[in-house]
Amino acid sequence: MAAHTVLGVLCGVGIMSASLVTVPAMAQSPQAAVPRGDMAGSVVSRLVASRAQSDQPVALASLTTFEWDSFSVERTPAGVAMANCNRDGLVPCEKDLQPSPDTLIQVLRFDQAGKAVYQERIIVASGNFAEPLPAAVPRGQAMLVTCADGRGGQLWCLQSAPRAPLRLMGLDGA
């Protein structure tokens, strides 16, 4: 009996792993729907969850399961509303999550060798990035921190690279 249970668990893990591998390919367009019950494959949901767990900086590479060289956040019209909202594992059909087609939304995009390998619509405020939006940020510099939006909300910002201390010169130039 115990062997049957272990086999069932391993089979379930294998099925879940196989479905997660397909998520980046399915998310090529911002309008692509996340498979039913598989929000764990969403980079944006991982980003939002990381903020809920800790206020520490987040290496964006640690939240992805695919290869990429750089990431950007772009503004694009929302387009057609999601048809699969309110299904098990998907987002609710709330008005603020279903913007009008001409409303500009943010899209998280990852590139490998100059070609998009993953794109995802950012449809929750807690996933939004601050202006100026990141553009072609190399993987090694993709460290994100929480920053204030000036209205009591939180946005994502790139962590500034540490700078060498400035040498102050005296009035005599020395």
pLDDT on residue 27: 41
Contacts of the segment 21-24: beta carbons below 8 A, 24+ positions apart: 21/65, 23/65, 24/65, 24/66, 24/117, 24/118
pLDDT (tens digit per residue) in 24-75: 333 433 333 333 344 457 899 999 999 999 999 999 999 999 999 999 999 9
Say whether pTM exceeds 0.85: no
- Could you give the CA distance from residue 51 to residue 157 in angstroms, rounded to a whole number? 12
Q: How far apart are CA 153 and CA 149, in angstroms?
A: 5
Residue 79 pLDDT grade (very low, low, confident, very high; cuts 50, 70, 90): confident
pLDDT tens-digit map of 4-27: 433 333 333 333 333 233 333 334
pLDDT of 160 reads 82
Instruction: Please tell me the distance from the alpha carbon of residue 39 to that of residue 82, in angstroms, as a whole number.
Output: 15
pLDDT of res. 129 = 97
